[in-house]
Amino acid sequence: MEAGAGSSSAPKLVAACVIGGIVLGASVVALHLAGPVAIPALPPVDALRRRFRRGRRRPVRVYMDGCFDMMHYGHCNALRQAHALGDELIVGVVSDDEITANKGPPVTPLHERLIMVRAVKWVHDVIPDAPYAITEDFMNKLFNEYNIDYIIHGDDPCLLPDGTDAYALAKKAGRYKQIKRTEGVSTTDIVGRMLLCVRERSASDSHNHSSLQRQFSHGHGQKIDDSGSGSGTRISHFLPTSRRIVQFSNSRGPGPDSRIVYIDGAFDLFHAGHVEILRLARELGDFLLVGIHTDQTISSTRGPHRPIMNLHERSLSVLACRYVDEVIIGAPWDVSKDMITTFNISLVVHGTIAENMDFMKDDLNPYAVPRAMGIYRRLESPLDITTSTIIRRIVANHEAYQGPGPDSRIVYIDGAFDLFHAGHVEILRLARELGDFLLVGIHTDQTISSTRGPHRPIMNLHERSLSVLACRYVDEVIIGAPWDVSKDMLCMHSSKIEHDIYATPAKALLTAIIDFRYRLTDTITTFNISLVVHGTIAENMDFMKDDLNPYAVPRAMGIYRRLESPLDITTSTIIRRIVANHEAYQKRNEKKEASEKKYYDSKSFVNGE
């Protein structure tokens, strides 16, 4: 029976193969007669990955938090990288109170920072008033309420005031991922550029130019960028690449019937005012084209100390905005008919709030052509914010941050603090115990060279300042302090405080960027100093006998005191130790070489052995 069944199935199999062959042959003939047929290409790998993720139960949600104060393209690039690690990026924006408690008052308030973060094209949603440190309760809230899969942060360390890792809990839970920090930019760097801009302008506006010594601590000239713009604020280390521009760009262009809206400007220190006017402009059409002026154009119209951010930095900030479809990097000042025709521009717009609106009255109005064509429109700017607004906030915060209280007993001590050592630490400890606020003056490289020889200091002014700032006993420093302690410096005169070069908040580290480059020798911040001290151990105490004793004024005022130095250590002590160690090292090597030579000389080698 089984054999019969097998023999009867054989003819069926043959018949099925024959019929299949006929169908296949007919299909081939039909395709041939129909001509070439377009076969759809396979989607790219990234698209397949997204399709696979969408096929899952829910999208991968990632969380990244930050202050996002004075938001720049470095922040945007971090958000772009974070978004690439998931499907939806949720961003926590730290509250004003939390920032003030941990870092000092923010430059931009929370509502402006929320506008900036929401405008970034890679952000899916925002959590306002996020905590500065991710506690276990908040982490569980992220995982359970917001369905966060991973917490993201940059590869730079983020430590809490107690020295612990802010993301330790997320790492322990196995829900932490890391991205690369964007090199060449930081908020501190941008703050430094702004302060430098303000101080250079203040110096150039002074009627007594001869009293100003504008020089680097190393004696080098002013640093100018390679673009030849002539601006004195060119200290950016940003190196643009085509790949980074592509990463920030949109892949789509305007359609044939698109209504293209054009808006141009400097977009320096990209802020909430820029975002809001771009949003309004985008609502007037299908495609928003943004023209970004060159550094040279901005310098010629707004002064030699602008822009703060260079052309490529400004371009990336604008490209990251979700309302922007395309940018013209280095757009011309005048909107010409050729430009309107080339880009098929339907409408040219400009806000009512800008740094300077005088050009609208000029005969050379840059919008004369679109106005004549009837395609120009002025938009009411939603926010009264300009780049100058941001700079004024920075200067105000800089002057107010972590200063002494009105009734504080301020103790002042100065010196070179070269090769910062235990002797320095101990004398600073004693000085701090004598008051409520310790102000430390750090002499310039030139001052030290003139008093201690041309081979000093070993560490430059910037390096020495940072070493002192790291000391827990120090509240504030004067970077590039004068040699003489004058009466003006000792007594508080509020009229002389504004925009002064020597007001240097210690913890913010802002003037560590600026004051080691420039100093104004005739302008001294006036502090309400109660006591001036100096240790009994120093490199050279001969100056105490001179007629030009730098402490003559506080001595005459009865507020000078010499402190018994706890340790008999000076910079020369450290140098002698280094030299002695080096000499001992050399002697050991010489002795070792002699011993080895004696050993090998006593051996007789045969056949090369």
The tens digit of pLDDT for each residue in 162-191 reads: 667 888 888 888 999 999 877 666 666 677
Average pLDDT (541-547) is: 66
Q: Report how far apart, in Å, the C-alpha atoms of 504 and of each of 107, 221, 231, 419, 447 are.
A: 17, 23, 24, 21, 19
Tokens, residue 416:
């070179």
Q: Please check the confidence at residue 523 and state whether its pLDDT lies above 60.
A: no
Least confidently predicted of 72-76, 79-83, 472-476, 486-490 = 486-490
Q: What is the mean pLDDT of residues 312-339?
A: 95
pLDDT at 56 over 60: no
Give yes or no for residue 298 having a pLDDT over 50: yes
Give pLDDT, residue 543.
65
Burial (CB count <10 Å: 0-12, 13-18, 19+), residue 93: buried
173 contacts: CB under 8 Å, gap ≥ 6: 139
pLDDT at 465: 86
Q: What residues contact residue 567 under an 8 Å CB cut-off, 6+ apart?
A: 422, 423, 426, 537
Give CA–CA dist 548/169, Å, rounded. 59
More confident residue, 569 or 361: 569
d(CA 386, CA 308): 13
Ramachandran angles phi, psi of 251, nearest 5°: -85, -10
Of the listed ranges 29-43, 389-403, 459-473, the one predicted with least confidence:
29-43
Count the Cβ atoms, other than its own, within 10 Å of residue 261. Answer: 25
- The pLDDT score that the predictor gives to residue 347 is 98
CA separation for the pair 113, 135 (Å, rounded): 23
SS3 151: strand
Question: Please, what is the average pLDDT of the chain?
Answer: 78
Output the pLDDT for position 132.
87
Q: Does domain 402-568 match CATH 2.40.50.140?
A: no
Residue 549 has pLDDT above 90, yes or no: no
- The predicted structure's pLDDT at residue 305: 80
Question: Residue type at 313?
Answer: E
Does residue 546 surpass a pLDDT of 80? Answer: no
The amino acid occupying position 573 is T
Give the pLDDT score at 115: 96
CATH of domain 242-389: 3.40.50.620
Using the predicted structure, report yes or no on whether residue 471 has a pLDDT greater than 60. Answer: yes
Binned at pLDDT 50, 70 and 90, residue 302 comes out as confident
In the chain, what are the domain boundaries? 61-179, 242-389, 402-568
> Mean pLDDT highest for which of 32-46, 387-401, 468-482, 509-523?
468-482
The fold of 61-179 is Rossmann fold (3.40.50)
Is residue 50's pLDDT more than 80?
no
> Token pair for residue 432?
């701090």
pLDDT of residue 544: 64
Is the fold of 242-389 the same as that of 402-568?
A: yes
pLDDT at 259: 97
- According to the model, what pLDDT value does residue 400 have? 60
Share of the chain above pLDDT 90, in %: 41
CA angle 477, 478, 480 (to 5 degrees): 135
pLDDT at 124 over 70: yes
Give the CA distances from residue 5 to residues 9, 15, 19, 501, in Å, rounded to whole numbers and listed in that order. 6, 16, 22, 105
pLDDT digits (tens, 9 = 90+) for 248-269: 888 788 999 999 999 999 999 9
Mean pLDDT of 109-133: 95
Residue 241 CB contacts under 8 Å (≥ 6 apart), including other chains: none
DSSP assignment, residue 403?
Answer: P
Q: Quick check: 515 pLDDT over 70?
A: no
User: For the segment 560-577, what is each residue's pLDDT rounded down to a tens digit?
Assistant: 999 999 999 998 888 888
Q: Average of pLDDT values for 270-297? A: 96
* Cβ contact 506:476 at 8 Å: yes
The DSSP-derived string for 229-297 is ---TT--------HHHHHHHS-S----TT--EEEEEE--TT--HHHHHHHHHHHTTSSEEEEEEE-HHH
What pLDDT score does 30 carry? 56
- 12 pLDDT band, cuts 50/70/90, is low
- Checking if the pLDDT of 504 tops 50, the result is no
- Judged by average pLDDT, the poorest of 52-61, 67-76, 122-131 is 52-61
Between CA 441 and CA 477 the distance in angstroms is: 6
HSE-up (13 A, CA, CB side) for residue 329? 14
CA dist 500 and 249 (Å) reads: 42
